[in-house]
Amino acid sequence: MHEIATAGELAARADGDALVVWGGQGLGDRARAWYAGDAVAVAVADLSKHDRLVVRGPLADLVPLVGSLLGELGTSFRPFGEEALIRELVARVPGLSLRATFGWMETAVVPSQPTTAAWLDGDDGVEAVLSEASPESYAWPGASGVLRWAGVVDEAGDLLSIAADGWSAPEVGFMAGVATRPDARGRGLSREVCAFVTAELVKRHGRTGLMVHGDNEAAIAVYRKLGYTYRAVAAAHM
């Protein structure tokens, strides 16, 4: 296997795959990438709560690459990629088990959705919304990689709906922490705040992505209306 030196080389070897490029995080201090034949693997620590090994490529090249890297990096790193590929890896790499399946969604389109959302001045009120509406969220105020929060507020200044710019890479933004207070649902506020954050991230990074539970049909429908496309992905662990 050979190490990849630059973010540009990573993008070229991964055919511009947004998931792999996002995992590379610009190949700064936290991420390293390798290739073997046509397979690519990116190791990045503490990315959206977990140490991830983002993978792509043909199994003949990828199986030995992943096996070598897990031995070198340690078992905290979770192979992560398209669901069908991860399932094949699990069947071929000894000790590897399927951990979770979910969805990756991405877009390079600036939504035309009207919105009253804006970036918040700090994160006051965010934790209360998350605790009530989305306690399982990976993004929280002060968490590593979570940069800023956007929200919709009512006339009294109370925070109703939120989303974060978190774990964005230079070439691929990332939206996380989407939540709306239960008493404010049904008014299109999540779509508003997601439209705002998506537009901001696409303008800044060129495209943006997010992760979603595969059975969350309501959220997936909102994201599709904002221009996102869906890919089934999965994570495995030793």
Scanning the structure block, which residue is given the tokens 């207070």?
181
pLDDT of residue 13: 97
Rg (CA), the chain: 18
Burial of 185 (0-12, 13-18, 19+ CB in 10 A): middle
User: 208 Cβ partners below 8 Å, 6+ apart?
Assistant: 106, 107, 168, 172, 173, 174, 175, 198, 201, 202
Among residues 221, 229, 17, 195, the alpha carbon closest in space to that of 105 is found at: 229
Q: pLDDT digits over 36-94, tens only?
A: 999 999 999 999 999 999 999 999 999 999 999 999 999 899 999 999 999 999 999 99
| Angle subtended by helix axes 189-205 and 217-225, to nearest 10 | 50
Supply the pTM of this predicted model.
Answer: 0.95
Q: Cα 198 from chain centroid? A: 13
pLDDT of residue 205: 98
Domains of the chain: which residue ranges? 2-103, 109-206
Q: pLDDT digits over 206-238, tens only?
A: 999 999 999 999 999 999 999 999 999 999 999
Under CATH, which architecture does the 109-206 domain have?
3-Layer(aba) Sandwich (3.40)
pLDDT at 178 over 90: yes
